[in-house]
């Protein structure tokens, strides 16, 4: 077995038994990145010096016979919208091409406290907006299973890096499926925790009421170990609650005992299958694969129940109103003055002014700086979202769109609450399609938006959900999504671990 194949537990054992050093482990990954990254573009920045420095520190601890945490010396990749102090953080955008993070995100602080090795920053769709990895301003991430296909987005780099053994695990962010979709396309595990379980401090905001950081890994066990390390209440994020039941919960949010040590039995499991998720548009082979998995779970003793989530049909529209509204507000801070690229002192190469301004336009006043910096710094899809968001928030449309969408969001949440009175978990495909070909959906943004159809209701409702590999169709990975009740993150992980084994049989 190669060093780059090891699970977290195996690597930990190897380190404490001195079968290899943290430095050797880090170097094995760095070498692999050097060989492979040119092909698949999973990393935007490789922090070799930081990684080697961190690894040496772990080796010193081992040498001194000190006890080291499970994650000490374990190399990881971090999506490039999560801040790592003194390392470039681009969000996949030209507007932040030369931006260096001034502090560590809370998740990074927590991982560094455990002695995790940060190998580098992973590629993504610009500002986490996209479903394929093709909207990165610095090159698309290719799918390691088939280089002609997309890796899924927006956490394209984290998923491809994990799938291609360029790291042991990665952190991604999920606003409307961005951890689960690339996990599904790349054949790895991707977990989106309950909204509030993980601090968002230091995550560049896309849509704050939907964003959540979570792990991508090759096994559910690995994802669970990472989740355990990062799910802490954080005073720097007022929406963070962690998963510890001792924490006070804001009114209306129910917090259940996380079933950390629950021993899993298939006989106790009631699985809900929402009829709204098995409809036209889903590729027949994917449907067959998921139904085959469900049959297996039934054989093992689980009870299957058909359920209805009747407002599912409004989820995509609701998401695209709320998300764009929040995107337009959050990205307003990139104005050419405070962060990154500015037309006031442009160093951007190949600058071609927007048609409105025409070649040779002089920047005359502050408004010009805003317009030019944002017009040139943001990519096309980001600008599209900002325009949509500004529109739904504008006077006269706010009530008709934004407020209405918030009401529908509540109905979607209630659908899930009702369903969870009857079932323990809900199973669906992660994506209606197999990983598509590069360029296939670039001309039609709406068809790209449809890739998220099975995942966004989960973000609107704030629930935990995981995508696990469930075999292959035409040699391409298929993902199975498990959705759980709010704050039952550990239960979902527990169940996923059991199902993962069955899926692989």
Do 46 and 33 touch, CB atoms closer than 8 A?
A: yes
SS (H, E, C) 111-165: HHHHCCEEEEEECCCHHHCCCCCCCCCCCCCEECCEEEEECCCCCHHHHHHHHCC
In terms of Cβ atoms closer than 10 Å to its own Cβ (0-12, 13-18, 19+), residue 316 is middle
Closer residue to ligand GLN in complex, CB, 70/460: 460
Regarding 481 and contact with ligand GLN (CB under 6 A), the answer is no
Does position 497 interact with ligand GLN (CB under 6 A)? The reply is no
C-beta of 3 vs 124, nearer to ligand GLN = 124
Residue 154 catalytic? yes
Q: Are strands 117-122 and 75-79 parallel, antiparallel or unpaired?
A: parallel
Question: From start to end of 222-284, where are the E strands?
Answer: 270-274
Instruction: Please say if 263 is a catalytic residue.
Output: no
| Residue placing its CB nearer to ligand GLN in the complex, 88 or 384 | 384
| Binding span for ligand GLN by CB under 6 A among 26-34, 123-131, 414-422, 461-469 | 123-131
Select the span of 167-175, 267-275, 361-369, 461-469 touching ligand GLN (CB under 6 A): 167-175
The residues pairing with 473 across neighbouring beta strands, listed in sequence order, are 476
Catalytic residue among 21, 27, 41, 79: 79
146 binds ligand GLN (CB under 6 A): no
Q: How far apart are CA 304 and CA 423, in angstroms?
A: 9
- How far is Cα 375 from Cα 290, in angstroms, rounded to an integer? 43
**First CA to last CA distance, the chain:** 21
Among 177, 187, 193, 469, binds ligand GLN (CB under 6 A): 177
Q: Which stretch binds ligand GLN (CB under 6 A): 84-92, 105-113, 136-144, 169-177?
A: 169-177
Report whether 196 contacts 241 (CB < 8 A): yes
Using CB under 6 A, which residues numbered 194 to 213 contact ligand GLN? 206
Under the criterion CB under 6 A, does residue 175 sit at the interface with ligand GLN? Answer: yes
Q: Which stretch binds ligand GLN (CB under 6 A): 171-179, 182-190, 399-407, 462-470?
A: 171-179
Q: How far is the CB of 5 from ligand GLN (least distance, A)?
A: 29
Task: List alpha helices for 65-117, DSSP H.
Answer: 106-114
Question: Interaction with ligand GLN in 319-378: which residues (CB under 6 A)?
Answer: 323
Determine which residue in the list 45, 114, 151, 154 makes contact with ligand GLN, applying CB under 6 A: 154
79 is catalytic: yes
User: Considering the rule CB under 6 A, would residue 131 count as an interface residue with ligand GLN?
Assistant: yes
According to DSSP, the β-strands at 476-483 and 465-473 are antiparallel
- Contact between 87 and 119 under an 8 Å Cβ cutoff? The reply is no
What binding mask, one character per residue, do residues 437-476 give for ligand GLN by CB under 6 A, x or -? ---------------x------------------------
Which of 44, 129, 225, 425 touches ligand GLN (CB under 6 A)? 129
For ligand GLN, the closer of residues 4 and 451 by Cβ is: 451
Task: Name the catalytic one among 21, 131, 154, 155.
Answer: 154
**Binder of ligand GLN out of 178, 243, 330, 431 (CB under 6 A):** 178
| Out of 128, 170, 363, 465, the residue judged to bind ligand GLN by CB under 6 A | 128
Nearer to ligand GLN, 164 or 174 (CB): 174
CB of 242 to ligand GLN, least distance (A): 22
CA distance 271 to 30: 42
The one catalytic residue among 41, 132, 136, 178: 178
Q: Phi/psi class of residue 358: alpha, beta or left (left: φ > 0; alpha: ψ in -120 to 50)?
A: left
- Please tell me the distance from the alpha carbon of residue 206 to that of residue 211, in angstroms, as a whole number: 7
**Which one of the spans 44-52, 174-182, 229-237, 439-447 is the region binding ligand GLN (CB under 6 A)?**
174-182
Q: Give the whole-angstrom CA distance, residue 338 versus residue 334.
A: 7
Helices then strands, each counted (H, E), the chain = 15, 13
Nearest residue to 79 (alpha-carbon basis) of 165, 145, 178, 163 = 178
Which positions are annotated as active-site residues?
A: 79, 154, 178
Provide the binding-site residues for ligand GLN, judged by CB under 6 A: 128-131, 154, 173-178, 206, 323, 452
């Amino acid at each position: 077995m190669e060093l780059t194949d090891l699970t977290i537990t195996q690597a930990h054992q190897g380190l404490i038994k001195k079968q290899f050093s943290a430095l050797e482990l880090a170097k094995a990954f760095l070498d692999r990145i050097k060989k492979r990254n040119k092909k698949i573009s999973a990393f935007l920045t490789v922090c070799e010096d930081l990684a080697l420095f961190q690894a040496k520190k772990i080796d010193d601890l081992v040498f001194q016979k000190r006890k080291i945490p499970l994650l000490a010396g374990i190399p990881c990749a971090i999506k490039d919208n999560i801040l790592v102090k003194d390392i470039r953080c681009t969000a996949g955008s030209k507007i932040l091409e030369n931006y260096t993070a001034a502090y560590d995100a809370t998740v990074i602080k927590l991982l560094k406290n455990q002695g995790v090795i940060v190998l580098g920053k992973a590629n993504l769709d610009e500002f986490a907006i996209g479903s394929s990895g093709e909207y990165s301003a610095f090159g698309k991430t290719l799918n390691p299973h088939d280089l002609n296909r997309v890796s899924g987005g927006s956490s394209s780099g984290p998923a491809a890096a994990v799938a291609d053994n360029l790291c042991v695990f990665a952190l991604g962010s999920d606003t409307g499926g961005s951890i689960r979709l690339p996990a599904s396309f790349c054949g790895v595990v991707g977990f989106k925790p309950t909204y509030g379980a993980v601090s968002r401090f230091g995550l560049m905001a896309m849509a704050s009421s939907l964003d959540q950081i979570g792990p991508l890994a090759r096994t559910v066990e690995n994802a669970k170990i990472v989740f355990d390390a990062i799910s802490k209440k954080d005073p720097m994020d007022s929406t963070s609650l962690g998963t510890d039941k001792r924490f006070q919960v804001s009114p209306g949010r129910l917090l259940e005992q996380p079933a950390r040590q629950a021993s899993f039995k298939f006989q106790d499991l009631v699985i809900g299958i929402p009829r709204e998720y098995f409809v036209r548009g889903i590729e027949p082979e994917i449907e067959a694969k998921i139904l085959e998995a469900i049959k297996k779970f039934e054989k093992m003793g689980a009870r299957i129940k058909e359920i209805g989530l009747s407002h599912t049909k409004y989820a995509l529209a609701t998401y695209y109103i709320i998300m764009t509204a929040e995107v337009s507000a959050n990205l307003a801070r990139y104005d050419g003055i405070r962060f990154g690229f500015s037309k006031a002192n442009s160093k951007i190469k190949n600058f071609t002014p927007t048609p409105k301004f025409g070649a040779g336009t002089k920047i005359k006043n502050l408004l010009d700086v805003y317009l030019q910096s944002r017009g040139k710094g943001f990519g096309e899809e980001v600008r599209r979202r900002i325009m949509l968001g500004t529109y739904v928030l504008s006077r006269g449309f706010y009530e008709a769109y934004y407020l209405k969408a918030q009401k529908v969001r509540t109905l979607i949440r209630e659908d899930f609450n009702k369903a969870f009175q009857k079932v323990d978990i809900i199973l669906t495909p992660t994506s209606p399609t197999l990983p598509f070909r590069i360029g296939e959906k670039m001309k039609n943004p709406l068809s790209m938006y449809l890739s998220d159809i099975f995942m966004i209701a989960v973000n609107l409702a704030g629930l935990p959900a995981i995508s696990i590999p469930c075999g292959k169709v035409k040699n391409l990975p298929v993902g199975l999504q498990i959705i759980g009740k709010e704050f039952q993150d550990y239960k979902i992980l527990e169940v996923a671990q059991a199902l993962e084994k069955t899926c692989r049989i």
